[in-house]
Amino acid sequence: MYPNFAEISMDSQVQELDGGSHKVFLVRLNGRKVVYKLINSISDQPTRSAIKKILRNIDRPIFEYFMDEIPQQKYRDRSFTKYSDIELRTLKEWRKRGIPCTNVLEKHDDEIIYDYLDADKYSNILERIKFKEKEFNELIKTYDMIRFEAKKDQDKTLLHSDAHLRNFLYSESLNKAMAIDPGLKVKDNMNFEQTDAYINLFFSYCLTELNSPNVNKYLSIFSDSLSRKEKDSVLKINKPLSVFANIYFDVRTKTISFIKGEQIISPAQLCSYEKIDLVNNIFS
């Protein structure tokens, strides 16, 4: 029904959207707005020199080892690459259970086509100076719906595997928070309660990263939505990195920054002492 993106005429209205690691485009076809997400593959990556490939192969297992120390990354299976299969299965199950989420229209080999949502990302909404209580309550409502359905079946694959604020949209016309892009795989060797706790911690850290005077308010509302047992599960895993992990990330970041000629962000900042203390104070 829908053409491949490469077949779309340049006469069509095409607008590139912020899709993170994917190329995402808003397209008007026959008067209807749809969204195309082009799925990245290894072959899409630029060719590396032989030396860079060798260095990357040496660094990769060390990087993965220490990344697994970062609490909000610990539940993710980074060896799995078929993200679109997970996303489609999860969105289909969410819609069947009445969870507000994006609607998949069609999938081709290397692209997914969605209904267009006239909505804004929560990463934008919550950084406004004004306290967005109504909008945030809708976000927590959708987040809770996902957790309720997953908990009911003890099915960790129904949880939002990438629950950062860019993956929730607020629709003013519907007054609903819509979940999008649940495309990461959770680890097979982690039980439901552990996976849920790590995702809750990840969501909490995303709130601490907001450039907003209302961070504590948002974090408190989220904390209040959890049971005492669930909060204790988050507190139990909310710990700083080991000395060795901090040294490794510091050296690695400085080396890559020097090679690239620009400052890059260290993964250690994902769980800074400031974030740990803020979550501990509000969840205690």
CA–CA distances in Å: residue 38 to residues 15, 108, 228: 14, 10, 41
- Residue with token string 């987040």: 143
Burial 116-126 (b: 16+ CB within 10 A, else e): bbebebbbebb
- To the nearest whole number, what is the mean pLDDT of the chain? 90
Q: What is the distance between the alpha carbons of residues 102 and 181, in angstroms, rounded to a whole number?
A: 8
Question: Which of the residue ranges 132-136, 194-198, 237-241, 264-268 would you say has the lowest mean pLDDT?
Answer: 264-268
What confidence tier does 40 reach under pLDDT thresholds 50, 70, 90? low
- The whole-model pTM stands at 0.90
What confidence tier does 11 reach under pLDDT thresholds 50, 70, 90? low
Q: Is the dihedral of CA 198, 202, 203, 204 positive or negative?
A: positive
Question: Which of the residue ranges 73-82, 115-124, 203-212 would you say has the lowest mean pLDDT?
Answer: 73-82
Question: Which of the residue ranges 31-40, 139-148, 224-233 would you say has the lowest mean pLDDT?
Answer: 31-40
Within 10 angstroms of residue 210's Cβ, the number of other Cβ atoms is 17
Which of the residue ranges 17-26, 92-101, 106-115 has the most confident prediction, judged by mean pLDDT?
Answer: 92-101
Q: Which residues contact 261 (CB under 8 A, 6 or more apart)?
A: none
105 phi, psi to nearest 5 deg: -90, -40
Q: Which of 77, 177, 190 is nearest to 119 (CA)?
A: 177
Environment class of residue 95 by beta-carbon count within 10 Å: exposed (0-12), middle (13-18) or buried (19+)?
A: middle
Q: Are 184 and 162 in contact (CB under 8 A)?
A: yes
Within 10 angstroms of residue 250's Cβ, the number of other Cβ atoms is 12
Question: Which of the residue ranges 54-58, 79-83, 147-151, 212-216 would you say has the lowest mean pLDDT?
Answer: 79-83
What confidence tier does 9 reach under pLDDT thresholds 50, 70, 90? confident
Within 10 angstroms of residue 135's Cβ, the number of other Cβ atoms is 17
Length, in residues, of the chain: 284
Mean pLDDT of 16-24: 80
pLDDT score recorded for residue 237? 95
In a 13 Å sphere around the CA of 263, the CA atoms on its Cβ side amount to: 1
